[in-house]
Structure 1
Amino acid sequence: MRSLPCSVLVLLLRVLLIHSLFLPFTSSRTTIQRGQFPPSFLFGTATSSFQIEGAYLQGNKSPSNWDVFSHIPRKIEDGSNVDVTDDHYNLFMVLDFLNTLIKHSSRSIKPFVTLNHFDIPQVLEDQYGSWLSSEIELDFGYFAQVRFEAFGDRVTYWTTFNEPNMYIYKGYILRTTLPSRCSYPLGNCSYGDSTLEPHIATHNLVLSHPGAAEIYQKFQEKQEGVIGIVIAAPWFVPYDDTPADRLAVERSLAFYFAWFADPSVYGDYPPEMRQVVGSRLPAFSAEERTKLLEVKLDFIGVNHYTTLYVKDVLLLHFALLSRGGMAMSNFSVIPRGMEGIVTYVKERYNNTPMFITENGYAQPTGPIDNSLNDTERIEYHESYLAVSSEVMRCGGEGIFHLVSARNFEWLHGYLIRFGLHYVDFRTLQSTPKWSATRYKEFLSEDKQNSSDSKNIHLQNVASGIFKTIKLCL
């Protein structure tokens, strides 16, 4: 294994990640109740357009980069694509899909609309390299304005980006997903530069948020909405209780989370990153810094699934060790990690309002009888809810379970299911799992005791390209 120069930007520089094999998992199925949360606390489910809509080339839609990618042989693990997936586009009422979806959803639920969830029009990749060009900031602003004008009278909660950190790390550093750019020794790519391009793409993406948020300010007073950003957020704990490993945890959080959140709060990238990366990290101009500081985040979304051990090392080395339970080997069931990440975000960002925008359990695809009896998902969900009920007194606003129905799980295709509903691949018939029934019961438990109690309508929902609908009541 080669020693790497300190200037190389990697997922977690000089850090060894080992999945938490030894942290305890405790079920809270018999203790968690709706009444343990504030009456105004929001519950919901989340999904994304690309993963459930289908309608490959319908409605005058041009291909996204993921449409193109999923048709390349051997790129998707099970050989599938998203031409149909859940066929939500066609099954949901009318051709004026998005407008009708939001119109009918807003009668009984609160739609959370995300403008970008990984996929982008292929034409932008072809024309100027998408996030590697500052041109995308203007195009993203145009796109956002069209959505604010069309849907803002019924949408209170807007998110500019979902998990931009995952998009950058996997697409420009490690090449595990689109746009598949990297350089040796981090990957074997035809094109790319893992030492420079992640910084460039992140810079353009980070500046696209205040651009869209500034446009939204023109609508905000009349529409009475808010706008934020959603970031993937595992929790990290030191492998050994040593100063070196504790500092490694701080760097991990900076490179993984703060890289994408600090600019919108403090007008600059994290000092922990500047100390390591130096001049390779772009500088914000005075005008850019002013815009970042003037257009504050209304809320931060946290997608939290698992917890990782971190150890300081001199060589780049990732050890992804599997643990029983989850279908995704790099996800371990560590409910207490929720407390750590919520506390970190609240303290670092001065109690900015926060939602847990994704949290869920991966299950392997199998026979319907096995899939419906998803007791492990129930245990996972209720254990994390139990911890959430304790830590949300720190200021959390809501939590969304991923996902209402089965979806296309990116490179895994349909081999993994996160959904509360089982969908038959041949007939597209949807059947509630035990977890869906239990979630509905949980949300109804204190209905008689509080007129403010909220209940969720568990239905299959989605959006169009550049958008994710996150739903709650």
Structure 2
Amino acid sequence: MFSPNFSFTLWAGIKPLVTLFHFDIPQALEDEYGGLLSPKIVKDYLDYVDFCFKTFGDQVKLWVTMNEPNGLCINGYTFGIFAPGRSSNYAGNCTVGNSATGPYIVAHNLLLAHGGAVKLYKDKYQTALNWLFIYPKGLQELLLYIKENYNNPVIYITENGMADANNRSLPIKDALKDSLRIRYHYGHLSYLFKAIKEGVNVKGYYVWSFFDDFEWDASYTVQFGLIFVDFNNNLRRYLKYSAYMFKLFLLK
């Protein structure tokens, strides 16, 4: 089992936020009982998160139970374009699956797993933590609504970003000029700053993503990163203009 070490991030002053599940069901559980289609997954998931809380809890204080469960239900079990690739013939090009029932069964089991993980953490490990919120637009209005209606909780915006097409024929010097991403992040950060000035209790804002990455449904055809990755040249990195914008914004 891969075991991360957060010592360096803590030493560098970075507070890690860990997503416990990001679409990657172990193949052994798929083979044994059908993975997320079986209620057995709930107990196995809770055993896993209990291990993570116990093993890494001294270094990690911020946890997300699962990434985009709606996307997994739809793309994995309605259209079959995510693993495990299940759909009816009319909905996707898969050899197994039922698009009429599979997504709902998986959603039910994911909700049980999420609820169980939250209860486990609160009952056994939590000392002080409120909730996590994320929303891609209307940011100031939503944050103010939460402040006024939910007793101004501590908020972490766990993922915010935008993708553009990965045009590999474009010269690198041109690919670094990501003006649309600059406007996107600058706009959201500006609204976030206004909300904070109005008393919203935001403690963290996480840009998606630091580097150009692999996306589950788009592979390397899109780019989210503040840093350009040259996949044709040994993964060499280059700062995009948006990275400089983000740095200057943080220095204000």
SS in 2 for 1:161: coil
Say if 1:377 and 1:349 are closer, same or farther in 2 by CA, change over 3 A: same
1:355 is matched with 156
1:146 is matched with 51
Bigger Rg over Cα: 1
Q: Paired residue for 2:125, among 219, 227, 235?
A: 219
- Over residues 213-257 of structure 1, what are the superposed CA-to-partner deviations in whole Å (9 max), with x where a residue is unaligned? 333232223xx5x4xxxxxxxxxxxxxxxxxxxxxxxxxxxxxxx
1:181 aligns with 2:86: yes
Q: What are the within-5 Å matches in structure 2 for residues 396-435 of structure 1? A: 396-425=202-231, 426-435=233-242
1:385 aligns with 2:153: no
CA contact under 8 A between 2:211 and 2:226: conserved in structure 1? yes
User: What is the rounded CA distance, in whole Å, between the counterparts of 1:348 and 1:201 in structure 2?
Assistant: 32
- Over residues 428-458 of structure 1, what are the superposed CA-to-partner deviations in whole Å (9 max), with x where a residue is unaligned? 222222211221121111xxxxxxxxxxxxx
CA contact under 8 A between 1:402 and 1:418: conserved in structure 2? yes
1:109 aligns with 2:14: yes
More helix by share: 2
Say if 1:136 and 1:395 are closer, same or farther in 2 by CA, change over 3 A: same
User: What is the rounded CA distance, in whole Å, between the counterparts of 2:21 and 2:183 in structure 1?
Assistant: 31
1:300 is matched with 132
User: What is the rounded CA distance, in whole Å, between the counterparts of 1:356 and 1:302 in structure 2?
Assistant: 5
* TM-score calculated relative to the size of structure 2: 0.84
Deviation, 1:364, is 2.4
User: What is the rounded CA distance, in whole Å, between the counterparts of 1:105 and 1:440 in structure 2?
Assistant: 19
SS in 2 for 1:158: strand
Deviation, 1:338, is 3.1
User: What is the rounded CA distance, in whole Å, between the counterparts of 2:40 and 2:46 in structure 1?
Assistant: 10
User: What is the rounded CA distance, in whole Å, between the counterparts of 2:153 and 2:71 in structure 1?
Assistant: 22
CA contact under 8 A between 2:42 and 2:109: conserved in structure 1? yes
User: What is the rounded CA distance, in whole Å, between the counterparts of 2:209 and 2:110 in structure 1?
Assistant: 26
User: What is the rounded CA distance, in whole Å, between the counterparts of 1:401 and 1:183 in structure 2?
Assistant: 36
1:442 aligns with 2:249: yes
Say if 1:408 and 1:357 are closer, same or farther in 2 by CA, change over 3 A: same
Q: What are the within-5 Å matches in structure 2 for residues 76-155 of structure 1? A: 98-99=4-5, 102-107=6-11, 108-155=13-60
User: What is the rounded CA distance, in whole Å, between the counterparts of 1:165 and 1:341 in structure 2?
Assistant: 21
RMSD: 2.6
User: What is the rounded CA distance, in whole Å, between the counterparts of 2:89 and 2:149 in structure 1?
Assistant: 34
1:93 is matched with none
- Over residues 49-72 of structure 1, what are the superposed CA-to-partner deviations in whole Å (9 max), with x where a residue is unaligned? xxxxxxxxxxx66xxxxxxxxxxx
Deviation, 1:109, is 0.9
Deviation, 1:184, is 5.7
CA contact under 8 A between 1:106 and 1:155: conserved in structure 2? no
| Structure 2: unaligned runs, 5 residues or longer | none
1:371 is matched with 175
Q: Which has the higher contact order (CA 8 A, sep 6+)?
A: 1
SS in 1 for 2:76: helix
Amino acid of the residue matched to residue 176 of structure 2? L
CA contact under 8 A between 2:80 and 2:87: conserved in structure 1? yes
Deviation, 1:182, is 2.4
User: What is the rounded CA distance, in whole Å, between the counterparts of 1:109 and 1:399 in structure 2?
Assistant: 13
Deviation, 1:210, is 2.6
Deviation, 1:127, is 1.3
Deviation, 1:396, is 4.2
CA contact under 8 A between 1:300 and 1:352: conserved in structure 2? no
User: What is the rounded CA distance, in whole Å, between the counterparts of 1:120 and 1:185 in structure 2?
Assistant: 25
| Structure 1: unaligned runs, 5 residues or longer | 1-59, 62-96, 227-297, 305-334, 446-473
CA contact under 8 A between 1:171 and 1:181: conserved in structure 2? yes
User: What is the rounded CA distance, in whole Å, between the counterparts of 1:343 and 1:193 in structure 2?
Assistant: 42
User: What is the rounded CA distance, in whole Å, between the counterparts of 2:159 and 2:139 in structure 1?
Assistant: 12
- Over residues 68-96 of structure 1, what are the superposed CA-to-partner deviations in whole Å (9 max), with x where a residue is unaligned? xxxxxxxxxxxxxxxxxxxxxxxxxxxxx
Deviation, 1:372, is 1.7
Deviation, 1:401, is 0.9
Say if 1:349 and 1:181 are closer, same or farther in 2 by CA, change over 3 A: farther
CA contact under 8 A between 2:132 and 2:158: conserved in structure 1? no
Amino acid of the residue matched to residue 179 of structure 2? T
User: What is the rounded CA distance, in whole Å, between the counterparts of 1:436 and 1:420 in structure 2?
Assistant: 5
- Over residues 322-374 of structure 1, what are the superposed CA-to-partner deviations in whole Å (9 max), with x where a residue is unaligned? xxxxxxxxxxxxx5x33565567778877654332211121322332112222
User: What is the rounded CA distance, in whole Å, between the counterparts of 2:98 and 2:149 in structure 1?
Assistant: 31
Between the two proteins, the alignment pairs up a number of residues equal to: 244
